Structure 1
């Protein structure tokens, strides 16, 4: 399948320095956009929207049309993998995802060893639709959840403040927890490889709860599974760019980069900027780390902080982004102001 011309986004992932840097925002397709809210109402539910290729492709493209971001990111959810493995998934309005917990060997035995391709096929159709419709020069990002983060939801059946249920399980029965991780790893390799075959230029591995692990557990449950995914995907798609996002890992990120061999890494808002520039950006291109709260509040501080970030990461490969996802009540005018500041 023919791909768009190389984008500035991909150029930076290849190690080039761009000024101004390319910019996209995590969760750039979402509830802050009136056009998204209209399609979300039309779809009937969040999952129905994810699994409707026509609507999901339209949602992916909406922020590209409105803002001209340098990259589009596939509209989907990290929990499609457990659903494809046979775990029941649903969303509760205002509360988020729910799954039937997998907390013991008996429940794991009820989950499939391999992901059902038929469950994921609508998402891959979305990939093809977006690829065909993207403007030339706009990068296209696919994604999956990192095994540790996905496992926390699979075990607890929902998001938890401290990932306690997953920690309790790997402490009590590390072999069983390893089996859960292994299934997510294998499913993720196949899923990301299928996205690459469908036309994405890069993929991002979201480890949203990496910061909840201490150093030894981070090595076992975050770094090593991610390394296996990178290795497995590269075996089939050696030119695909892979971005890691171990949110909250802080000073553990340099070792994460070296061991996983990701092509770039996302930076959360709270990371020390001088450390990130000297110890991480010296290894790979970095992406981040503007505060979503500040984007929501706006004001003169928005411009000051954006300019400080641009200055801190100038001279090396850098992609401007947020430290996490854009908040639903963020004014569109603030996004426009941020883009104007970044692009000069």
Structure 2
């Protein structure tokens, strides 16, 4: 159905197979820092129209690949598609981020929510297939979802939050209600990600953007437990090929061992955790993705190369490293600067990969 993959470096690294150099992609690599993205968004009319039109979603997904020698593309969508499909009425206000017309604050609110399915989000599945075909085997396509906890924060708060008072209030006052909500979300994410895999995604990432606002015990109970439920329910091999899964909790570096024990293929790291120390802690259990500070991209080429070398040398020799930012690229970054980073990763990363590697069939071993 799809053209043969020409660059499998990203998938190999996630599966800890030998590569010729360290692969690299950037979270939020299709975004407002690119003038061509801003033009596409203006033509589409608004952000949601951009997401819900497969041709527009494909166009902006491929835009960074036309500029940079990236090793993966990531589906252009939003983590809040699932709550929107549950009927909460997602919308965006300029300068204020995402909002919902309905909030989830009571047990009756939770009981009224349907479990979202891939069929409810067929526009996302259609976009995945259109993008995968348009890539023509150039690089793999990453699908993604928000974690149940992260999705719940927006649903309960009604949008972005600084103090998370409503959802944390629910967590302490009515934990059984929050568990019921998180279970519905976990079931929805499982079907959603499996739908993306069937539609053409070759790897998937779970974004736990707000897991780091929890205490250790609460992270285990209200975030990590549900991500494990998702991992246990995901398709891990499809049409004879392994489907790597990346788990990323922002500000979650203190819980890496517990995260690795849930069974992902890779853990994403933000810039607050030293990647060499993380590798020493998790050993060979998982690959690592990350983790340069996105603000490095405000610097010039020499500084960017220096910081790239610092991350590469901290991880050290061998496979199992996907280079990335520690979070999404900022909208005010000069579009010329990511090229400095990407080219530096490929050039400087070669000396850390001296093994010979086999052909694509190794992904099926």
2:40 alignment partner in structure 1: 39
Tell me the alpha carbon deviations over residues 78-109 of structure 1, each in whole angstroms, 9 at most, x when there is no partner. Answer: 10001111111111111100012101123223
Counterpart mapping for 1:97-136 below 5 A: 97-99=98-100, 100-112=102-114, 114-115=115-116, 117-136=118-137
Does 2:186 match 1:190? no
Shift of residue 273, structure 1, vs aligned partner: 3.4
- Tell me the distance in 2 between the aligned counterparts of 1:109 and 1:45: 32
Tell me the alpha carbon deviations over residues 194-225 of structure 1, each in whole angstroms, 9 at most, x when there is no partner. Answer: 10001111000000111111111111112110
Q: Which has the higher mean CA deviation after the structures are superposed, 285-294 or 17-26? A: 17-26
**2:98 aligned counterpart, secondary structure:** strand
Q: 1:322 aligns with which of 304, 325, 328?
A: 325
Question: Residues 3 and 231 from structure 1, CA distance in 2 versus in 1: closer, same or farther, beyond 3 angstroms?
Answer: farther
Question: Contact 2:276–2:315 at 8 Å: present in 1 too?
Answer: no
Question: Contact 1:254–1:280 at 8 Å: present in 2 too?
Answer: yes
Q: Which has the higher mean CA deviation after the structures are superposed, 154-163 or 325-334? A: 154-163
Q: What TM-score does the superposition give when structure 1 sets the normalisation length? A: 0.95
1:96 alignment partner in structure 2: 97
**2:235 aligned counterpart, secondary structure:** helix
Shift of residue 308, structure 1, vs aligned partner: 0.7
Q: 1:240 aligns with which of 237, 240, 243?
A: 243
Question: Contact 1:17–1:315 at 8 Å: present in 2 too?
Answer: no
- Tell me the distance in 2 between the aligned counterparts of 1:250 and 1:116: 31
1:83 alignment partner in structure 2: 84
Question: Contact 1:3–1:199 at 8 Å: present in 2 too?
Answer: no
- Tell me the distance in 1 between the aligned counterparts of 2:125 and 2:91: 20
Q: Which has the higher contact order (CA 8 A, sep 6+)?
A: 2
Q: What TM-score does the superposition give when structure 2 sets the normalisation length? A: 0.90
Shift of residue 133, structure 1, vs aligned partner: 1.1
Question: Contact 1:193–1:236 at 8 Å: present in 2 too?
Answer: no
- Tell me the distance in 2 between the aligned counterparts of 1:17 and 1:156: 44
- Tell me the distance in 2 between the aligned counterparts of 1:134 and 1:239: 19
Q: RMSD of the TM alignment (CA)? A: 1.7
**2:248 aligned counterpart, secondary structure:** strand
2:210 alignment partner in structure 1: 209
Counterpart mapping for 1:1-344 below 5 A: 1-2=1-2, 4-5=4-5, 7-99=8-100, 100-112=102-114, 114-115=115-116, 117-234=118-235, 237=238, 239-258=242-261, 260-280=262-282, 282-298=284-300, 300-316=302-318, 317-344=320-347
Q: Which has the higher mean CA deviation after the structures are superposed, 7-16 or 272-281? A: 272-281
Question: Residues 66 and 189 from structure 1, CA distance in 2 versus in 1: closer, same or farther, beyond 3 angstroms?
Answer: same
Shift of residue 299, structure 1, vs aligned partner: 5.2
**1:178 aligned counterpart, secondary structure:** helix
**1:234 aligned counterpart, secondary structure:** coil
Q: Which has the higher mean CA deviation after the structures are superposed, 92-101 or 227-236? A: 227-236
- Tell me the distance in 1 between the aligned counterparts of 2:237 and 2:296: 40
Tell me the alpha carbon deviations over residues 34-58 of structure 1, each in whole angstroms, 9 at most, x when there is no partner. Answer: 1110110011111111101110011
Shift of residue 265, structure 1, vs aligned partner: 0.7
Question: Contact 2:279–2:315 at 8 Å: present in 1 too?
Answer: yes
Q: Would you say how many aligned residue pairs link Structure 1 and Structure 2?
A: 342
Question: Residues 257 and 108 from structure 1, CA distance in 2 versus in 1: closer, same or farther, beyond 3 angstroms?
Answer: same
Tell me the alpha carbon deviations over residues 285-318 of structure 1, each in whole angstroms, 9 at most, x when there is no partner. Answer: 1010011111123353222111111111132310
Tell me the alpha carbon deviations over residues 238-296 of structure 1, each in whole angstroms, 9 at most, x when there is no partner. Answer: 832100001111121111111x2000010101113332121135321101001111112
**1:60 aligned counterpart, secondary structure:** helix
**1:49 aligned counterpart, secondary structure:** helix
Q: Which has the higher mean CA deviation after the structures are superposed, 19-28 or 271-280? A: 271-280
Question: Contact 1:12–1:318 at 8 Å: present in 2 too?
Answer: yes
Shift of residue 234, structure 1, vs aligned partner: 3.1
